[in-house]
């Protein structure tokens, strides 16, 4: 009987933790991208409309200045010229604050906005929030948003050092430049 009680409590705990970690629903390809209004590393606010008329690579990442997040950000930095030639703007989002983003951007010379989603509302609307009770992080997802503000592609499995090249290849295909 004691084991049944322990198993029941363990099952309830697992269910509780899994529900707390679940994010909202990830927007589907073809739907309007959820809007946001977030400050960047310089304290300047950005909304989805600010990026309108161009393609937007909106990438969510867990934490500033960690190995995977640094590889991903630096790859976007290194490939920014190719992305810009394809009419693309890049913006990163995490739940870190603007000061953390400023240090990260300065350390690695990141020339694109890093948006501070400190209350995690945007990560929740994009379905990428991981809530661990004591900490919240954004999952590593990228949304390719077309010039009309619609989700064109969702990347849910990201190889950080190759991700920007993957997006460049996909954009060339989408834009008929292959």
For 161, other C-beta atoms within 10 Å of its C-beta total 12
Q: Which residues contact 28 (CB under 8 A, 6 or more apart)?
A: 151, 154
Secondary structure of 135-173 as H, E, C letters? CEEECCEEEEECCCCEEEEEECCCCCCCHHHHHHHHHHH
Determine contact, residues 48/35, Cβ cutoff 8 Å.
yes
Helix or strand holding residue 107 (H, E): helix 98-108
Which candidate in 69, 114, 129, 167 is catalytic? 69
Give catalytic status of residue 74 as yes or no: no
Q: Which residues are catalytic?
A: 69
């Amino acid at each position: 009987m004691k084991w049944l009680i322990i198993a029941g409590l363990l099952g309830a705990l697992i269910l509780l933790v899994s529900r707390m970690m679940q994010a909202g629903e990830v927007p589907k390809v073809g739907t309007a991208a959820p809007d946001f209004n977030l400050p960047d590393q310089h304290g300047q606010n950005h909304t989805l409309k600010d990026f309108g008329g161009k393609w937007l690579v909106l990438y969510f990442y867990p934490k500033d200045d960690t190995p995977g997040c640094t590889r991903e950000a630096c790859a976007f930095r290194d490939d920014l010229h190719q992305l810009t030639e394809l009419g693309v703007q890049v913006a990163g989002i995490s739940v870190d604050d603007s000061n953390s983003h400023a240090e990260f951007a300065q350390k690695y010379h990141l020339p694109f906005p890093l948006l501070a989603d400190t209350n995690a509302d945007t990560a929740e609307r994009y379905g990428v929030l991981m809530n661990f009770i004591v900490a919240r992080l954004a999952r590593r997802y990228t949304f390719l948003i077309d010039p009309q503000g619609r989700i064109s592609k969702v990347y849910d499995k990201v190889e950080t050092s190759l991700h920007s090249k993957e997006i460049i290849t996909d954009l060339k295909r989408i834009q008929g430049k292959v």
